[in-house]
Amino acid sequence: MRPLIVIRRIPNINFMGLRTVGFLLSGLMTIASIVLFLTQGLNYGIDFSGGTIIEVRSTSGPADLTKMRADLDSLGLRDVTLQNFGGADDVLIRLQEQSDKTQEQTVNQVKEKLGNAYEYRRTEVVGPTVGAELIKAGVEATILALFAIALYVWFRFEWPFGVGAMLSTLHDTITTVGLFSLLQIEFNLTTLAAILTIAGYSINDTVVIYDRVRETMRRYKSMDFGELINKSLNETLSRTILTVSTTALAVLSLLLFGGEVLRGFSIAMLWGIVVGTYSSLFIAAPILYYIRPKRGSGGDGASASGGNARPPATRETVTASGKS
């Protein structure tokens, strides 16, 4: 049984020639993301902002948002938002913490007012202290993840690779946050989980490419470095695209069928996968051109920090295959 599609030709794309365009684009996206985050901010879900959400489903056909809004307004609650959630029957009611009553009282009031015409599918109440703690823990975990990954790459490769990996991962996470700020998609705990996963996953193709760059460095000791990066990127392009595609397929299925609760997560993951691939090709690899790893005669395989990364035996096999 043979594959239906085989990519036989190794492409010859001049990634290094496009590096200025890539850096410019990424720089712009990063700055835009930071500006958006600072000006427009994120649409924090109650996990982070505190507050109450009640998901209801009308038991008699599509929910009448206007009537619900009027009903809830008559309770004198401040900052109530209503939106359809998934289907036309489902409505998500979001309430900020009220100054004059407890969140519990608010929930009871709303349920009393709306009565039995609705099925109460989900009620979540998060106090402000918990929200603040979760934000802190989330930011800490993301920063820790970035450093841990950079440290690992440094340990397995050489420090320039670590720097490149960290910058491209940072770029991926910042632009994901930017996307959430731009589209004002709810940013909640699951979204944060997606961002951490992106940090771990978007590094995958970077590592795959770095692996090849290192291998090519050993094999062609005198090749121009830009040319070397190009060669490595082109040789691994088919596998970069194929690995990303399988994960993207799984995430796409989550986005289409996984329901409303996972929507934010799926969007973040999908973006992370795409931008992660882009940044591996146009940021992580070209950066090496500027902060070059050592290409010495003896010390190339084993960097000072990762002495046990490659035993000499491997190097010999590599050279042997170079001849054949």
Partner 1 sequence: MLYFQGWKLTLILSVCLLGFIFALPNAFAPTTLDRWPSFLHRQVSLGLDLRGGSYLLLQVDMNTVEQERLNSLVDEVRTQLVTAKVGYSDLAAAGNHVSFTVRDSGRMNDVRDIITKIDPTLDVQIGTSGTVTLTPNQQALIQRRNSAIAQSIEIVRRRIDETGTKEPSIQREGDDRILLQLPGVDNPEHVKELIGRTAKMTFQLVDPNASPQDARSGRVPAGDVVLPSSETANGQPAQYYVVRRRVMVSGDTLTDAQATFGQNGAAVVSFKFDSTGARRFADATKENVGKPFAIVLDNKVISAPVIREPILGGSGQIEGNFTVQSANDLALLLRAGALPAPLTVLEERTVGPGLGADSIHAGALASVVGVILVVIFMVVFYGLFGVFADIALFFNLCIMMAALTLLGATLTLPGIAGIALTMGMAVDANVLIYERIREEVRGGRSLISSLQAGFERAFGTILDSHVTTLVAGALMFWLGSGPVKGFAVTLSLGVLTSLFSAILVTRLLIVTWLRRLKPKAIPI
Classify residue 223 by its DSSP letter: S
| Binds partner 1 (CB under 8 A): choice among 43, 109, 123, 234 | 123
User: What is the C-alpha to C-alpha distance for residues 21 and 59, in angstroms, rounded to an integer?
Assistant: 55
User: What is the C-alpha to C-alpha distance for residues 234 and 281, in angstroms, rounded to an integer?
Assistant: 10
29-88 positions binding partner 1, by CB under 8 A: 55, 57
Tell me whether residue 104 or residue 227 sits nearer to partner 1 (CB atom): 104
CB of 71 to partner 1, least distance (A): 20
User: What is the C-alpha to C-alpha distance for residues 66 and 78, in angstroms, rounded to an integer?
Assistant: 17
Q: Which stretch binds partner 1 (CB under 8 A): 21-29, 93-101, 123-131, 223-231?
A: 123-131
| Binds partner 1 (CB under 8 A): choice among 31, 249, 299, 316 | 249
Tell me whether residue 181 or residue 266 sits nearer to partner 1 (CB atom): 266
SS3 81: strand
Q: Are 105 and 57 in contact (CB under 8 A)?
A: no
What are the φ/ψ torsions at residue 53 (nearest 5 degrees)? -125, 145
| Binds partner 1 (CB under 8 A): choice among 36, 251, 284, 285 | 251
133-172 positions binding partner 1, by CB under 8 A: 134, 137-138, 140-141, 144-145, 148-149, 152-153, 156
Q: Which stretch binds partner 1 (CB under 8 A): 27-35, 73-81, 230-238, 298-306?
A: 230-238
- Residue 109 within binding range of partner 1, rule CB under 8 A: no
Rounded to a whole number of angstroms, the CA Rg of the chain reads 25
Tracing tokens 């190339």 back to the chain, one arrives at 300
Tracing tokens 């507050």 back to the chain, one arrives at 51
194-223 positions binding partner 1, by CB under 8 A: 196-197, 199-201, 203-205, 207-208, 211
Classify residue 74 by its DSSP letter: T
Residue 304 has which token pair? Answer: 């000072």
CB of 24 to partner 1, least distance (A): 27
CB of 57 to partner 1, least distance (A): 7
| Binds partner 1 (CB under 8 A): choice among 67, 122, 292, 294 | 122
Q: Are 273 and 201 in contact (CB under 8 A)?
A: yes
